[in-house]
Structure 1
Amino acid sequence: MVRDDDGNSSLSEIARQQGNSIVPLLVGIQSNPAITQSRVLRFLENLECLQLPQRPTNRKASAIRVSRERINPLQLRKYVALSYTWTASKFEDKTAGLYHVQERVGQGFEPSRVRNTILDRIFIYMRTIDVDLLWIDQHGIIQDTDGCKRPTCDHEACIQKREGMEVMDLVYKFSKHPVGLLVRPITSARELKLLANLLQRKLTSGNGAHIRLSRNRNPQEAWMALEILHRITKDDWWHRGWIFQENYKGGTRMKLLIKHSEDLEGLKRFYGNMRNPYGSPIFGNVDGELCIRSVNFLEEATRLCLACWKSIGRHRILSNPTMRKRKEVIKQILQTASKYRLVLKPSEPMTPRIIADIEKRQMKERWDRLAITANCCQYSTRLNVRQLMQENVSLSLAILALCLLNGEVLHNGRSANPRASKMNVSKFLKASLFDEFNSPSNQHSLTFNRSCRFFDVSLTKSGIKTRGHMWKIYKIIDTCKWPLPGAWVEDLSGILEPGQRKQLAYLARHLAKAGHTSLSDNIKAYLERDTRLATIPYNNLSFTERYMHTMASEVADAIAKASPLGLGCLWDPNEGDGYRPYMAVFVLEDSGTLSQTSDISDESHESDDGEVYAFTASRPDDYSSKEYDSSDLDRHVSFEVEVEGLVGNTDGLIPQIRIRRWLPGLCFFRRVSRAHVVFSWPRDLESISP
């Protein structure tokens, strides 16, 4: 019998518990129909909200009536989506029942089980921002399931509850006013002033690797602010699994409400005109509350933690018990409330951190981790949780399978990690997912990396099967002697910068002189199209147009840096070595070689002595159903790969490949269908058995 939650179990322990090797276990999980999410939109299209009640005329009213109203958030997004803890803390009055909510069926009203203080606070907020509709899970999702607690039940009430929980992330995503209620109050003027200084970024300076404590402030002020952050992040709100999802999906619109003592209202109002570095008010104007943008709180908290950590390391005073304690406090804050952009390297994916953070959160049903992971990572392919539970499948392996089926890329080209079998799944993902992405300079790295995924994935004994285009690279072009300005261009207008257009124009001319007319003509046609697209707002461009622009910019910038380029033609192992025109240009390393193991000739010769291959794949987000948000996203990968061999497939032999490195390139393959490939299992994962 497998434990319900094996999150702390190592892969070797899971293999022993399941009585099988890890790879066949993953393949078996996939055989549980991995369904593309077709989330029932009857829930969203009839989202049950509560209407803001009128202010009671009698302060001692025994009951306040709250009516229901159904909306479609795809059309009306002006509603508050509330995030709060169901269980009262020691800082709250547990009393409920003041508010009587309209029944789902009929015109009757019944006392709400939601604590009075929760509804009091959110209704004050709604009046302040002039919003009349509230979505709250206890009244927006059916709760009365006749006492049934079976997660695999087919009762109509249970089905409706599951459907509601399944799309709950979209409720927060679509809301213009997602709000999180924290309950630990700010009780002193000193705390309020320190928090104000933190949010105005007065305690830190610099950016990126240069973040440090401000030289204009007393360092003691930073340590006191750190203690306040520690207290705030101990609030139960930060430690619930579903709330992690709500905060994540609420994004830049999520606001945090933190109560403060009545005697601080005047001081808070004094800070009314103070702004954070992004121009938003630091505290808002809600009576009795600090109203803080969640993303700003996370960013400033992370900056302070990183600056304090650096200060501790610089002074080498870890033997001091106070400093050891502060270091632990910093770790706890960063594990609870960190800004991923500041704690992850630009080359890393966010997925391992998201999964580890979800794993730390408390949740009543541990299998809810699958849904929360899928929602936060924007996965469109889901697993049949009910069937997995009935078959006693490992929850941790189900999460790993979920990641792989949604296109997460394992770096299978590395040597086997001898410690892999001792890792749990979240640590294995951290160690094994590809983390050498190289995002373009004009894009946010984590946003770019999030889209670097395979599509049409299936798990096989041989590896991870997907589709894309295979390229064979025959020729290197040395650009170090090319003229810096590039070639003369008649029309400099376009999405590309004028200098980039000149570089690509010179490349096209060079290719034409060398007889590579197909690739040259494609680049010229792209430059003409780039001019036509200049009149269209960038966000209105199609995925293909945006992605081609990204890769064209990469090639142009590489030419400006005198980096070598590689020319590739489409490759199919089922066809002979007959002539194929060059249809792609890839950006190589500055050394002029494709990899340390490559041995490819210079520009004047073509050779098969050191065969070098690339795999590319791109596809826009799959909104196959016009009726709902499929949670998919644009996908694209571009790797230099090693062909390990060929494996049989229904449509012939397909390459079995391993990743060497990230390899950006501008590819032209119009009307050429994608072909199957298999990425071999990582050597360490393949070897884990009972």
Structure 2
Amino acid sequence: MATNVREPDDRQTTISRILHQRNSNLVSELLDIQNYAMNVGKAHKWVQNPLCLRFRRSSPRTFQGVRNRNLEQRFVALSWTWDPSTHESDKVGNYWVEHSHTGEVVGVKVRNCIIDRATKYLLFTGFDIFWIDRICINQDDQEEKQEAMNSMDLIYKHANKSVALLSTPIRSQSELCILVRLVSGEFAFSTGGHCKLSQSVSWTTMKKAMQVLRRITKDSWWTRAWTLQEEYVAGVKMDILLPLGPGVGSIPGSGDIPGEYCVSATHFRTQATIFLEACLGCTNILKQQANRSWTRYKTLCLKTRNVVAKYNIILAEPMSARIHADVGRRNITRPWDSLAIIANSCGYGVRLDGKALLQRKQSLSLSLLTQYLLNGEITCSDWHAKGFLDFSVDRLLQKATLASWKLPDISRQLTFLKHCRFGPVEIYESGVRTSGLLWELKSDDRIRTSTFDLPKVDEITRMHLQKSPWKSMELYALTLQLQRNHHEVALRLERYIQGRRSGHTWTGSGYMDLMAWDLIQAVQQGYVLRIGYLKNTRAGSIFIPELKDIWRPMHVFSTWYSGQMHEYQLDKYVSTEVSIKADGVLGPLKWVRGLLLLHETVMYSITLKSF
């Protein structure tokens, strides 16, 4: 997808400077860019019948071009870098493609070494169909290339396996042994949210492992924006291949592909991150070393971690903001491709027509910001007063997200954060407009749970209740207490419990399960709860306020959308405090935990003064 035309890239420029250069204001620019939004359904039409290649053992150098309608045939997606590294030959010409519909045979314009390694992977994994961008996308058809860019997420999401073909070789048997031991978890482990080195790891072993990781992560595959998207979307289905250098033979744990070290990309990232995090915190070993030596290796360690870090180990911020920043740090031939790369990685249902915006000489930074908002990403309010416009777009998103918000007590917090988005959004002069429910929390309406006399819950029961919270004694006891003064809320809570016990699911039921588990823990700890009322005074939700919010009147905006029902990539849910002002609703302000008893069918359009 490379081109020789240099595209303007203002991602490192502050938003305020961009607006000054354009002699405009933020709202006007966002409104203009919004006109070039397109639904993901339109963007994904290309993937309904993409070209794939069939590998035939009877004719291993001539692939058959086949159409993989709706991606129903099992296939492998390749992830590679178009430009050869210093470790590779750039020779092509050893392979051909025979197109089924025409019988035409054409040469493959991909490095021989890439196809050699890909076919080895196919042989040992048992697949015979694969997809590779340079061949399977018509590089002479600009319209097809644009459609394909917006469909990459589906290619790598639905591929049965993906393989990343790195070119940096493992140079010696000792390097391979170090790598296998590290990936097996021998050097470090994670316990209670902390990463620790194994007691047997010496300073010498630690340095060697760091050096091996640093050399591998300097491979060009780790520097490209497109490969970041491919790996992120493929997830646990992606393997990494590293070539074994001359004289290096495979050992147990290095895979069964001749001449290659094969490892799960997810497993590699996880173990490498745990090891590097453990190294950064290994004070006992550091005391034994010279400060100058450690300073050098600490820098090496940090640089390597920035490349290979597994998000769910190091992150407490929403992944969307981190993905924006990571894509911005990676190399990309066409900067405007980052719109599609980020949309694919984040599962956005709304895309922007980058080609049209580029022709209009729009700002890439402002386009990225608009796409972020149109996909329901939550940001705090009043950017100008907080000085956020004096940051670049990546920094603005990191500062304006809900990183510091107190989210539900759940084990997979990053997964939860991916769903913390509004549903369909439109940008207006006064803010972002979306649909939801506005709850009032009255200052004199509270539920005290400290009097509950319930048995202690052991760890096994806790794990069971986390998966099936509707079976808990806590919710049943809360229902009985609510019947005294909050009969309607009690009925709604009982309806939820009985529905889930009967095996029923509905729009929002999965989100309710997460919130119910959070509510159970609040009851176990004797928290004070608050009741939420809709504008017509009907009660319908139970909130878990922070200590400072027990007494004051509050308003909470909530919304939820089914990804399937609304043709979006993800289910979405929001529960955030807002402030009711004379000129509108100000927010979001902060996340408010609680069980939203989602039996309302009508949601109301509300404009939030976000920016």
Same fold flag (TM > 0.5): yes
Contact 1:213 1:304 (C-alpha < 8 Å) held by counterparts: yes
| Match of residue 3 from structure 2 | none
| Match of residue 340 from structure 1 | 311
Contact 1:312 1:323 (C-alpha < 8 Å) held by counterparts: no
Pick which of 356-365 and 366-375 moved more. 356-365
Query: How far is the alpha carbon of 1:657 from its aligned partner?
Result: 2.2
Contact 1:501 1:527 (C-alpha < 8 Å) held by counterparts: no
Q: Secondary structure at the match of 1:263?
A: coil
1:99 to 95, 99, 117: 95
| Match of residue 634 from structure 1 | 571
Query: How far is the alpha carbon of 1:218 from its aligned partner?
Result: 1.2
2:540 to 577, 583, 592: 583
Query: How far is the alpha carbon of 1:529 from its aligned partner?
Result: 1.6
Which AA in structure 2 matches 1:14? Answer: I
Change (3 A) 1:13 1:182: same
For 1:43 and 1:313, the matched residues in 2 are separated by 56
Which AA in structure 2 matches 1:571? Answer: K
Q: Secondary structure at the match of 2:167?
A: strand
1:619 correspondence with 2:564: no
Change (3 A) 1:364 1:104: farther
| Match of residue 526 from structure 2 | 562
Which AA in structure 2 matches 1:658? Answer: G
Query: How far is the alpha carbon of 1:35 from its aligned partner?
Result: 1.8
1:90 correspondence with 2:32: no
2:355 to 369, 377, 386: 386
Q: Secondary structure at the match of 1:364?
A: coil
User: Runs of 5+ in structure 2 lacking a partner?
Assistant: 1-5, 457-463
Larger radius of gyration: 1
1:121-140 alignment to 2 at 5 Å? Answer: 121-140=117-136
Which AA in structure 2 matches 1:39? Answer: K
| Match of residue 148 from structure 1 | none
Contact 1:93 1:115 (C-alpha < 8 Å) held by counterparts: yes
Query: How far is the alpha carbon of 1:306 from its aligned partner?
Result: 1.1
Note the alpha carbon deviations across 1:546-581, whole angstroms, 9 max, x for none: 122222222222111100010121026xxxxxxx23
Contact 1:413 1:660 (C-alpha < 8 Å) held by counterparts: no
Note the alpha carbon deviations across 1:445-497, whole angstroms, 9 max, x for none: 101011000112111221222111001112112222232359xxxxxx99975
Change (3 A) 1:311 1:23: farther
Root mean square deviation of aligned Cα: 2.6
Change (3 A) 1:413 1:110: closer
1:594 to 535, 546, 549: 549
Change (3 A) 1:642 1:413: farther
1:243 correspondence with 2:220: no
Pick which of 632-641 and 501-510 moved more. 501-510
Which AA in structure 2 matches 1:678? Answer: T
User: Runs of 5+ in structure 1 lacking a partner?
Assistant: 58-63, 146-156, 272-281, 487-492, 573-579, 601-609, 625-629, 648-655, 683-690
Note the alpha carbon deviations across 1:279-311, whole angstroms, 9 max, x for none: xxx421001101110001111111122122223
| Match of residue 466 from structure 1 | 434
| Match of residue 525 from structure 1 | 495
1:677 to 577, 586, 606: 606
Q: Secondary structure at the match of 2:582?
A: strand
Note the alpha carbon deviations across 1:227-272, whole angstroms, 9 max, x for none: 111111111111111111111111101001110035322xx24x1x
| Match of residue 62 from structure 2 | 65
Query: How far is the alpha carbon of 1:74 from its aligned partner?
Result: 3.6
Q: Secondary structure at the match of 1:434?
A: coil
For 1:240 and 1:509, the matched residues in 2 are separated by 58
- Aligned pairs, number: 597
| Match of residue 575 from structure 1 | none
Note the alpha carbon deviations across 1:81-133, whole angstroms, 9 max, x for none: 11111111111111110112224762121221111111111111111111111
Identity %: 28
| Match of residue 322 from structure 2 | 353
Which AA in structure 2 matches 1:69? Answer: V
Change (3 A) 1:617 1:631: closer
Contact 1:657 1:680 (C-alpha < 8 Å) held by counterparts: yes
Pick which of 399-408 and 658-667 moved more. 658-667
TM-score by length of 1: 0.81
Which AA in structure 2 matches 1:218? Answer: S
1:446 to 407, 414, 422: 414
Contact 1:82 1:179 (C-alpha < 8 Å) held by counterparts: yes
Contact 2:557 2:576 (C-alpha < 8 Å) held by counterparts: yes
For 1:494 and 1:10, the matched residues in 2 are separated by 48
For 1:584 and 1:251, the matched residues in 2 are separated by 36
Note the alpha carbon deviations across 1:417-462, whole angstroms, 9 max, x for none: 34x3431110111111111455544541101011000112111221
* Greater helix share, structure number: 2
Pick which of 521-530 and 232-241 moved more. 521-530
1:116 correspondence with 2:112: yes
Change (3 A) 1:41 1:503: closer
Query: How far is the alpha carbon of 1:527 from its aligned partner?
Result: 2.1
For 1:543 and 1:45, the matched residues in 2 are separated by 27
Which AA in structure 1 matches 2:308? Answer: A
Pick which of 309-318 and 165-174 moved more. 309-318
| Match of residue 151 from structure 2 | 167
| Match of residue 49 from structure 1 | 52
Contact 1:494 1:531 (C-alpha < 8 Å) held by counterparts: no
Q: Secondary structure at the match of 2:472?
A: helix
Change (3 A) 1:477 1:95: same
For 2:369 and 2:283, the matched residues in 1 are separated by 37
Which AA in structure 2 matches 1:254? Answer: M
1:664 correspondence with 2:593: yes
Which AA in structure 1 matches 2:559? Answer: A
Contact 2:55 2:62 (C-alpha < 8 Å) held by counterparts: no
| Match of residue 80 from structure 1 | 76
Change (3 A) 1:18 1:208: farther
Q: Secondary structure at the match of 1:409?
A: coil
1:296-445 alignment to 2 at 5 Å? Answer: 296-311=267-282, 315=286, 320-345=291-316, 348-412=317-381, 416-418=385-387, 420-445=388-413
Change (3 A) 1:359 1:84: same
Q: Secondary structure at the match of 1:206?
A: strand
Contact 1:50 1:69 (C-alpha < 8 Å) held by counterparts: yes
2:453 to 473, 483, 487: 483
For 1:314 and 1:222, the matched residues in 2 are separated by 10
Which AA in structure 2 matches 1:664? Answer: R
Q: Secondary structure at the match of 2:46?
A: helix
| Match of residue 461 from structure 2 | none
Change (3 A) 1:496 1:205: closer
